[in-house]
Amino acid sequence: MSDVIVKMEGISKAFAGIKALDNVQIELRKGEVHALMGENGAGKSTLMKIMTGVYTKDEGTMYLLNEDSGRMEEIEMKSPLMAQKEGLSMVFQELNLLENMNIAENIFIGREPVGKSKFINKEELNKRASQELAKVKLDIRPDTPVSGLSCGQMQCVEIAKALSFQARVVVFDEPTASLSEKESQVLFQIIEELKSQGVCIVYISHRMEEVFELSDRITVFRNGTYIDTVETSRVTEADLIKMMIGHDIAGKKECGSAFINQDQVIMEVKDVVVYPESRPVSFKLYEKEILGFFGLVGAGRTELMRKIFGIDPIGEGEIYIKNNKVHITSPKDAISAGIGLVPEDRKGLGLILGMSIKDNMLISKLGQLKSGWLNRRVLKQITGSYISDLGISLRNEEQAVKELSGGNQQKVVIAKWLAMTPDILILDEPTRGIDIGAKSEIYALMRKLTESGKSIIMISSEIAEVMQVSDRIIVMHEGNISGEITAEEVTKNNIMQAAFGGIENE
Amino acid sequence: MNKTKKMNFGAFRELLLVGVVLLLCVVWTIMNSQFLSANNISNILRQASYTAIAAVGMTMVIIIGEIDLSAGSLVCAAGLAGAVVCKNTGNVFLAVLASIAVGALIGAVNGTLCAIGKLPGFIASLASMTVLRGLAYIITGGNSVVWSNENFTMIGTGYIMGIPVPVIIMVIVIIFGVVLTTKTRFGRYIYSVGGNMEASRWSGIAVEKVKIFVYMIMGILTAIAGLIITTRLGSGQPSAGLNFEMDCITAAVVGGTSMAGGRGKVMGTIVGVLLLTVLTNGMTLVGMNTYWQQVLKGVIIVISVLADTRGKR
């Protein structure tokens, strides 16, 4: 076991009282590609961020190989800079480059070579950067501004930056999510080469093919707990899915009452292309149903809804509401067509945080009122009824919405849309960051709404939530619809298989 | 309990400002009894009028998270437009109409560049500020424009029932501003666009339209201010209105309008205008050096905004 570089044991971490990691472990070896797998929120990224000093752990110990003595020594990772100096680097999903600087400046930021005069030695800087770029096979002048680079090139710069610290471990978090096929192949070559030099690669990915192609070992997490570490050659995709979702749930039906009336199509979406390279997507929404949209990160669910709601252009796609074609080019059009959308980014897109609860609830409704004058009594009636219906706890309506808890804020956003009396309500991750009590209230509310005749589309990344709430589930994978499952047929297995692109059954 | 205090700070702040204005009045009266004379009070109100009128518009522009630097040049351009039309046609109505049309047009241009062209309002209005000033000199050849219709002059100098006409116009504009921002749908849209533009768009608000309208209101109000300034001077001057936009911005900021957008009140701005006018008037009355006056004004800006940010904590 002399080739172990990093060992972490008993690691726990909580965010705002919610456990993200519970007593997990991992062991990384020289020259291996170690894949981390698990559902969204399983704790993969969190563990790696602890290892690279972005987060600090609450409990547990981390050991790092001391190259001089050849022994494992305990270490407290205090900052990303410290981790980088120890040779542990992470290439982030969302790239971390400073766009207005050039490649060399980005690679050596904070460590620029300086001459006696304390000014930066540009020549030396560019020379060293060229050496680093050669390692990642990026044939570009080091003084090229980063802003002009493609995603793949930026990633190469990130990797070069990681290597410039004499990296011993490089973590890739969903590296191919934003890369083209060709760029991905280049990345795999680089990974193979790093591996042959004895660098350990940690590879976090949802893409089964890549994991099987690249990795030597796989560690699986589920809900913040460690499940197992296995040799890639000894497992099948089906084994992995089973490990990720647990065992006992196959075939168990948890969905809400499936009373979908297939004759009443409320909305039909035709031929919407989510990502440039993906196939056109079409689906129907029936009256009084909750249609769940499941998928892994990057599956394109939010992007699809943005197009339907008129935030992004819909291209060749068509939308029919009750068999009438509608042209939606802005949220305003979508609202007139009877569609409401509760966005995932509640604070950035759903609410105007500095404004009062009352104003937030009314801001969309105002456009529907005939008169442009605010009539206190009429408005009070509207807000009052939703505050009591939804059970929003507040001190008074004039209170700024930013003072409310996440659950109550979400209810304000929902109230805002209910006030518009839409026929179709799209909820994007409606319970994210909300405590359990408020969650079940929101589920009950959704059910009540469909019973009163509305139709709901719910995007969720929580498999249990999708199964519990939906009447029907559409699963997306990389911009395509990879499965449609009714409440009767649903199992965690078939959802996850579809989410991974629809692999063969065992 | 803590939060209740926070909530009331907005109202408290305006009262505090009113208190400061009254205190200033007392100080100036003690130092020079002329301060409280009917003549001087009327003077102060007339001085405050044109700044207040444009500052009502500026407050709305700042609330939507933008700025209008072209106000000073527009005061000049709109005033000149009125003066030229009055000189050539002798028709006061046409002169006023021409002036307001120029204001609306420039406002629409600023607003369109900002909302549709996605330029920062700062840049769009900086450009129109420069262009308008240049045009003013080109059209007039650097000379002043004089008219011969007494009725036109009345806009800036006349009285109705003993009240200066500019003050009457100011009161009407203030009522317009307060009603628009607090009692109408459009008013809610102004605050919402300034508070979170993307969320407003997602809520179905035509964000671009709101921005253009606000800039147009600003342009029209600035043109009215320009008419008053020009008719008070008695001639259209290509150099009129220099730094006028800064007076409006100062008043809005002192009055509690947040430069980040989403927060501010027309009444706050009006109190800000009064504070600055009373300060200037009194300082002049007691014979303070004008350069020191500028220094003091700067200090007041800093103090009021510091008090504001502390109060919000």
What is the predicted pLDDT for the residue at B11?
A: 66
- pLDDT at residue number A459: 94
- Per-residue pLDDT, A499: 87
Give the pLDDT confidence score for residue A357 in this predicted structure. 93
pLDDT of A238 > 70? The answer is yes
**A309, A354, A366 ranked by CB distance to B185: nearest:** A366
The residues pairing with B148 across neighbouring beta strands, listed in sequence order, are none
Higher pLDDT, A91 or A352: A352
Cα dihedral sign, A467-A470-A475-A478:
negative
CA dihedral defined by A348, A353, A358, A364, rounded to 10 degrees? -30
Q: Is the dihedral of CA B41, B42, B44, B45 positive or negative?
A: positive
pLDDT score, position B9: 57
Label residue B97 exposed, middle or buried (CB < 10 Å: 0-12, 13-18, 19+).
Answer: middle
- ipTM of predicted complex: 0.84
Contacting residues for B164 by C-beta, under 8 A, at least 6 apart: B42, B45, B46, B49, B157, B158
A479: nearest Cα among A276, A280, A274:
A274
For A71-75, what is the mean pLDDT? 90
Query: How far is residue A179's CA from residue A181's CA, in Å, rounded to a whole number?
Result: 7
Tell me whether B262 touches chain A (CB under 8 Å).
yes
Do A352 and A404 touch, CB atoms closer than 8 A?
Answer: no
pLDDT of residue A181: 75
Q: pLDDT tens, A356-402?
A: 999 999 999 998 888 889 888 888 888 888 888 888 888 888 888 98
Q: Quick check: B184 and A372 CB within 8 A?
A: yes
pLDDT higher at A42 or B183: B183
Tell me if residue B277 falls in helix, strand or coil: helix
What's the pLDDT at A84?
86
Q: Which residues in chain B have Cβ-Cβ distances shorter than 8 Å to A353?
A: 195-196
Which of A349, A372, A399 comes nearest B202 by C-beta?
A: A349
Residue given tokens 């109190």 in the structure block: B271
For residue A361, the chain B residue with the least C-alpha distance is B203
pTM, entire model = 0.78
* Strand A4-15 with A18-29, pairing: antiparallel
Amino acid identity, residue A440?
A: S
**What is the structure's pLDDT at A25?**
94
* Tokens 């990344």, residue located: A461
Please indicate whether, in this complex, the C-beta atoms of B187 and A364 are within 8 angstroms of each other: no
User: Counting beta carbons within 10 angstroms of the beta carbon of residue B302, is it exposed (0 to 12), middle (13 to 18) or buried (19 or more)?
Assistant: exposed
Local structure of A120: helix, strand or coil: strand
Of A343, A366, A399, the CB nearest to B188: A366
pLDDT at position B303, please? 87
Q: How many CB pairs under 8 A join A and B?
A: 82
Q: In terms of DSSP bridges, do strands A339-342 and A424-428 run parallel, antiparallel, or are they unpaired?
A: parallel
- CA B275 from chain centre, in angstroms, equals 14
- Closest by Cα among A9, A6, A4, A10 to A64: A6
Q: What is the pLDDT of residue B83?
A: 96
Percentage of chain A beyond pLDDT 90 is 36
**Residue linked to tokens 């241009």:** B109
Q: Do B192 and A416 touch (CB under 8 A)?
A: no
User: For residue A332, which residues of chain B lie inside 8 Å, CB to CB?
Assistant: 204-206
B108 reaches A (C-beta below 8 A): no
Locate the chain B residue with the closest alpha carbon to A311.
B202
Q: Among A362, A374, A398, whose Cβ lies nearest the Cβ of B184?
A: A374
* Sign of the torsion formed by the C-alpha atoms of B252, B255, B256 and B262: negative
- Distance, in Å, from the CA atom of A359 to the CA atom of A361, rounded to the nearest integer, reads 5
Cβ B215 vs Cβ B120: under 8 Å: no
The answer, for B183 touching chain A at a CB cutoff of 8 Å, is yes
On whether the CB atoms of residues B21 and B278 are closer than 8 A, the answer is: yes
Taking a C-beta distance cutoff of 8 angstroms, is the pair B275, B48 a contact?
no
Query: In chain A, where does the domain assigned CATH 3.40.50.300 lie?
Result: 4-245, 265-499
Model confidence at B162: pLDDT above 70: yes
Instruction: Give one DSSP letter per residue of chain B, joined into a string.
Output: -HHHHHHHHHHHHHHHHHHHHHHHHHHHHHH-GGGGSHHHHHHHHHHHHHHHHHHHHHHHHHHTT---TTHHHHHHHHHHHHHHHHHHH--HHHHHHHHHHHHHHHHHHHHHHHHTS---HHHHHHHHHHHHHHHHHHHHTT--B----HHHHHHHH-EETTEEHHHHHHHHHHHHHHHHHHHBHHHHHHHHHHH-HHHHHHTT--HHHHHHHHHHHHHHHHHHHHHHHHHHHTSB-TTTTTTHHHHHHHHHHHTT--TTSS---HHHHHHHHHHHHHHHHHHHHTT--HHHHHHHHHHHHHHHHHHHHHHH-
Share of residues in chain B with pLDDT > 70 (%): 95
- The residue with tokens 């699963």 is A475
Of B192, B196, B204, the CB nearest to A331: B204
Which of A113-127, A210-224, B191-205, B209-223 has the weakest average pLDDT?
Answer: A113-127
pLDDT of A497: 86
What is the model's pLDDT at position B7? 45
pLDDT at A258: 52
Ordered domains of chain B (ranges, CATH):
32-312 (1.10.3470)
A28 pLDDT band, cuts 50/70/90, is: very high
Higher pLDDT, residue B8 or A201 = A201
Percent of chain A with pLDDT over 70: 94
pLDDT band at A505 (very low <50, low <70, confident <90, very high): very low
Token readout for A223 is 């809900």
Q: Give the separation between CA A38 and CA A222, rounded to whole angstroms.
A: 6
Looking at chain A, which residue has its C-alpha nearest residue B201?
A: A331
Measuring CA to CA, how many Å separate A315 from each of A89, A298, A377, B36? 40, 20, 43, 69
For residue A400, what is the nearest residue in chain B, using CA coordinates?
B7
> For residue B14, is pLDDT > 50?
yes
Lowest mean pLDDT across A213-222, B7-16, B108-117, B263-272: B7-16
Q: What pLDDT is stored for residue A45 in this prediction?
A: 86
Per-residue confidence (pLDDT) for residue A177, from 0 to 100: 72
Instruction: Single out the residue of A430, A493, A390 nearest to residue A293, CA to CA.
Output: A430
Most B CBs within 10 Å, among A363, A370, A378, to test the B interface: A363
Three-class SS state of B35? helix
Set of chain B residues whose Cβ sits within 8 Å of the Cβ of A372: 184-186
pLDDT over threshold 90, residue A167: no
CATH topology for A265-499 is Rossmann fold (3.40.50)
Residue B40 has pLDDT above 70, yes or no: yes
Q: Which residues of chain A neighbour B206 with C-beta distances below 8 Å?
A: 330, 332
Q: What is the pLDDT of residues A430-481, one digit of tens each?
A: 887 776 667 778 888 888 888 888 999 999 988 888 888 898 999 999 899 9
Residue B18 is which amino acid?
V
Tokens coding B14: 């305006």
Average pLDDT (B1-11) is: 48
Give the pLDDT score at A506.
Answer: 32
Domain A4-245 sits in CATH at 3.40.50.300
Instruction: List CB contacts (< 8 A) between B189 and chain A.
Output: 363, 366
A283 compared with A70, residue with greater pLDDT: A283
Tell if the CB–CB gap between B192 and A359 is shorter than 8 Å.
Answer: yes
Number of Cβ within 10 Å of residue B281's Cβ equals: 20
Which tens digit of pLDDT belongs to each residue from B47-95? 999 999 999 999 999 999 999 999 999 999 999 999 999 999 999 999 9
Calpha distance A45→A37 (Å, rounded) = 10
Residues of chain B with Cβ-Cβ distance to A404 below 8 Å are none
CA distances from B128 to A309, B50, B240, B255 (A): 36, 21, 16, 26
Q: What is the mean pLDDT of chain B?
A: 92
Confidence of residue B2 (pLDDT cuts 50, 70, 90): very low
Nearest to A197 by CA among A186, A185, A189, A209: A189
Q: What pLDDT sits at residue A260?
A: 65
Cα separation, A200 vs A121, whole angstroms: 32
Q: Are A73 and A81 in contact (CB under 8 A)?
A: no
Chain B residues in contact with A307 (beta carbon < 8 A)? none
What is the DSSP secondary-structure string of A438-456?
A: HHHHHHHHHHHHHHTT-EE
pLDDT in tens, A269-325: 999 999 988 899 999 999 889 999 998 877 899 999 999 999 999 988 999 999 999
Q: Tell me which residue of A5, A6, A12, A7 sits closest to A56, measured CA to CA.
A: A12
Rounded mean pLDDT, A127-154: 85
By a Cβ cutoff of 8 Å, what residues of chain A touch chain B?
309, 311, 330-332, 334-335, 341, 343, 348-355, 359, 362-364, 366-367, 369, 371-374, 395, 398-399, 403, 416
The torsion region of residue B264 among left (phi > 0), alpha (psi -120 to 50) and beta comes to left
